[in-house]
Structure 1
Amino acid sequence: MTLLVLSSLLIIGLVLLLAEVLFVPGTTVVGIFGLAVSLAGIVYAFLSFDTEVAWWITALAVILNLAAIVYGFSSGVWNRFSLKTSMQGGTFDGRTDSLQIGMVGKTISDLKPIGKASFEDDVYEVKSENGFITVGTEVTIIKIENNKIIVK
């Protein structure tokens, strides 16, 4: 019975430590609990067996736990959680480069005060300077800053 309890404690501790390293990295709760269960198994070994056997059990538990940690870091599991791409774009990505102040276009939706307008067969989201503008009205660009187009 003591071997069953001892092996259960050590195996559960090892499994929890492996789970921390492989499946839920960064939480540390599972890893700390796994180390605590392994330490409980070692304490149980010292209480139940001779000192020499308990030291052999301790050495075996330490080697297996260290092997689990080394395996977790060398297995490449961290690559699944790391960012491999970078975001492209931003607030100003050149969509309005073909537009100029003074260009005339036509609204294709009501501007309340934001809506859509067409300039040279391209559709842009625009904002009216003075509130509501109905669909089909000619508008003129008065200001362009970043991706915001202000019309009147």
Structure 2
Amino acid sequence: MTWFILVSLLLIGLVLVLTEILFVPGTTLVGLLGLIVTLGGIYYAFIKFDNNLAWIIVGAALLLNFSALVYGFRSGVWNKFALKEAITSRSFDDRLAGLEIGMEGKAISDIKPIGKAEFGERIYEVKSDSGFIMVGTKVFIARLEDNKIIIKS
């Protein structure tokens, strides 16, 4: 029964440390819990066995933990969990299509400093460069930057 408890503590500690590295990296809570359980197993070995055997168990536990980590890094297990593609799409990429600086439109809501304006047949969310603009006022596009339409009256 003593060996079962010792092996269980050491294996649970190892599994928790590997779980920290593989599934929840950066949280340190699971890894710290795994380290505490492993240290508990080592402490249990020193209580139940003589010092020579306890030091052999410490060496075996360290060897097992480090070999599992090295194997995990070299085997490519980590690559299964890594993101391999970058998201390159953007939202509203064609939002400013057909608009030009100096284009005339009409404010269809109060713009204080953000509101709605109509250019051509479409309605856009705009930002005023000249403060408050009343509904119905003629507006002009001053700048087009970062999917934003900056207007002036």
Q: Secondary structure at the match of 2:126?
A: strand
Please name the residue that 2:100 is paired with: 99
Amino acid at match of 2:69: I
Deviation of 1:16 (Å): 1.6
Contact 2:101 2:144 in 1 (8 A): no
Secondary structure in structure 2 of the residue aligned to 1:32: helix
Question: Contact 1:125–1:149 at 8 Å: present in 2 too?
Answer: no
Unmatched 5+ stretches in structure 2: none
Q: Structure 1 residue 70 and structure 2 residue 73: aligned?
A: no
Cα displacement (A) at 1:141: 0.7
Size of the aligned set, in residue pairs, is 146
Q: Structure 1 residue 34: deviation in Å? A: 1.6
Q: Could you tell me how far 1:104 is from its partner in structure 2?
A: 2.3
Question: In the alignment, is the contact (CA less than 8 A) between 2:18 and 2:69 conserved in 1?
Answer: yes
Q: C-alpha displacement at 1:10, in angstroms? A: 1.1
Q: Counterpart of 1:39?
A: 39
The unaligned stretches of length 5 or more in structure 1 are none
Structure 1 residue 124 corresponds to structure 2 residue 112:
no
Whether the aligned pair in 2 keeps the contact of 1:9 and 1:40 (CA below 8 Å) is yes
Q: Cα RMSD between the aligned structures?
A: 3.4
Structure 1 residues 53-101: Cα deviation after superposition (integer angstroms, max 9, x where no partner)? 3343223212221133224434116843x58426666xxx993784222
Q: 1:11 to 1:138 in 2, by over 3 A?
A: same
Q: TM-score, normalised by structure 1?
A: 0.69
Match of 1:85 in 2: 86
Distance change in 2, residues 1:77/1:31 (3 Å): farther
CA distance in 2, matches of 1:127, 1:36: 57
| Contact 2:21 2:31 (C-alpha < 8 Å) held by counterparts | yes
* 8 A Cα contact 1:104 1:138, kept in partner: no
Identity %: 42
Q: Aligned partners of 1:50 and 1:130: how far apart in 2?
A: 83
